[in-house]
Amino acid sequence: MTAANTEGAADIAAAAPDPDEAQRAIEYCYEQGWSDGLPLVPVSKPLLDQFLATTDKDPEEIIGSLEQVGRDVNVYLAAINAAMAGCKPEYFPVVLAAFEALMRERAARGGGFQSTSGPSPLIVVNGPIRKELGFNTAGGAFGPGFRPNATIPRAIGLLVRNGFGIHPHVLEQATQGLPGRWQVCVAENEEESPWEPLAENGGVTGGVSAVTATLTRTMEFVDNRHTPNHEDVLRDFQDTISRIGSQIFPLSSVALVLCPEHAQMFASAGMSKADVQNWLLERCGRTGAELTSMGKAEVNRKGFRGEYDGDEAFHKFLAGPTSIPVIVAGAKNAAISMVVRIFGEWSGTSVPVVEK
């Protein structure tokens, strides 16, 4: 060891955390039943205070209630769970906006977190906050690898577990759940999107940072880099969206997470976001006979809003623009997009991020 290293040893010892103590603290958190299965950041009062300092909200303010389980979540609990999830304090306003957006969903308030379908939020972030906090706005949009994208949805999951007390096998009854549960937070690739950001469709205009959230059941890719004809590509989306397996009610919803290449192809053909939505709204669906042949007679007989026009009739699956929110995300390096199955329906609103 050189003299310089010897002199520096004391400083290094002071600066480097004690791994044995850290491990004990992590194990303590596991023992309390707080974890989603992965290690948690043990939260102390000084760390909590850093989170609370990022918002003007009163720590006691209730930001979500689940009447059926008799539990409320306040800002204080949200901050602890966000810190435990690995968020940085400056992410906390985004966590608060994401939770508010999610709790606007009828399905989230009405027993979704207890459901056998085991849904998980799709969280979408828009505006300058994406760059400020270092969100991934490019390739690998669904993760992992980027702290805000990874820890913010985890914070929401921990809040549902700990704040609402909804634990797997107890009040949470997911049959299988879905891959990526509590892990999906997409920062829209606004720079390469030809259209307005999702937040604008959700009512937050002027480029203000905002979060949108909806519950989802899974997703499926559409890889179509095989044709210059945009209508061929739209038909490929139509085919995937029109699956019967996910059809459990007369109407359903999907989020279309388009890669920049697909989005730009549609835009180059003169299509607005609304044009793409309308094209698909008109065409996604199946005949009554097809539904019946797969044992989904009840789904159609119960009514497509009360109107079952017989086996030969074509039954549209999507009700309107809020049944098919369109987001642009990922890298412009291949024509690969994602159809995300929404659980219930999107509230159609976005929540501004309020920084102190």
Partner 1 sequence: MPNAILDPTGTATTSTGTSSTGKQAAPRAPRPVSLQGKRVGLLINTKNNARPFLEEVGRLLEDRYDVTLTQRTKVNFAVPEPENVIKELIAENDVIITGVGDCGSCSAAAAADGVVLESAGVPVAAIITESFIPTADAMAALRGAPGYKYATTAHPVAVLTEDKVKERAAQVLDDVVALLVEPEKVEE
Residue keyed to tokens 């690998």 = 140
Which lies closer to partner 1 via its Cβ, residue 42 or residue 134? Answer: 42
Which lies closer to partner 1 via its Cβ, residue 7 or residue 60? Answer: 60
Distance of closest approach, residue 205 Cβ to partner 1, in angstroms? 33
Helix (H, G, I), strand (E, B) or coil at 141: coil
Stretch that binds partner 1, among 8-16, 38-46, 133-141, 201-209 (CB under 8 A): 38-46
Q: In the Cβ-directed half-sphere of 346, how many Cα atoms lie within 13 Å?
A: 33
Stretch that binds partner 1, among 137-145, 161-169, 215-223, 334-342 (CB under 8 A): 161-169
Question: What are the C-alpha distances in Å from 64 to residues 70, 187, 201, 352?
Answer: 11, 24, 24, 17
Which lies closer to partner 1 via its Cβ, residue 116 or residue 268? Answer: 116
Distance of closest approach, residue 115 Cβ to partner 1, in angstroms? 5
Which lies closer to partner 1 via its Cβ, residue 43 or residue 178? Answer: 43
Which lies closer to partner 1 via its Cβ, residue 164 or residue 237? Answer: 164
Per-residue mark of binding to partner 1, 267-306 (x: CB under 8 A): -------------------------------x--------
Q: Where are the alpha helices (DSSP H) in the chain?
A: 3-15, 19-31, 45-52, 75-85, 92-103, 106-109, 129-132, 147-158, 198-201, 230-241, 260-268, 273-283, 288-293, 297-301
CA pair distance 274, 277, nearest whole angstrom? 5
Question: Radius of gyration of the chain from Cα atoms?
Answer: 23
Question: What are the C-alpha distances in Å from 70 to residues 143, 160, 175, 193?
Answer: 34, 13, 24, 43
CA pair distance 151, 143, nearest whole angstrom? 11
Q: Which of residues 69-128 bind partner 1 (CB under 8 A)?
A: 69-71, 73-74, 76-77, 80-81, 84, 110-112, 114-116
Which lies closer to partner 1 via its Cβ, residue 165 or residue 348? Answer: 165
For 225-294, the DSSP string reads -S-S-HHHHHHHHHHHHT-STT--SSS-EEEEEE-HHHHHHHHHTT--HHHHHHHHHHH-EEEHHHHHHT
Distance of closest approach, residue 48 Cβ to partner 1, in angstroms? 6
Which lies closer to partner 1 via its Cβ, residue 21 or residue 307? Answer: 21
The answer to whether 68 contacts partner 1 (rule: CB under 8 A) is yes
Q: Exposed (0-12), middle (13-18) or buried (19+): which is 295, by Cβ within 10 Å? A: exposed
CA pair distance 163, 118, nearest whole angstrom? 18
Which lies closer to partner 1 via its Cβ, residue 45 or residue 305? Answer: 45
| Residue selected from 44, 227, 268, 293 as contacting partner 1 according to rule CB under 8 A | 44
Smallest CA-to-CA distance from 346 within 219, 180, 212, 222 is with 212
Smallest CA-to-CA distance from 60 within 46, 79, 82, 88 is with 79
Distance of closest approach, residue 325 Cβ to partner 1, in angstroms? 23
Q: Which of residues 163-192 bind partner 1 (CB under 8 A)?
A: 163, 165, 167, 169-174
Contact, 108 vs 189, CB < 8 A?
A: no
| Residue selected from 9, 22, 23, 28 as contacting partner 1 according to rule CB under 8 A | 28
Distance of closest approach, residue 34 Cβ to partner 1, in angstroms? 6
Per-residue mark of binding to partner 1, 197-236 (x: CB under 8 A): ----------------------------------------
DSSP-assigned beta bridge partners for residue 326? 256
Sites of contact with partner 1 (CB under 8 A): 25, 28-29, 32-34, 42-46, 48, 67-71, 73-74, 76-77, 80-81, 84, 110-112, 114-116, 158, 162-163, 165, 167, 169-174, 298
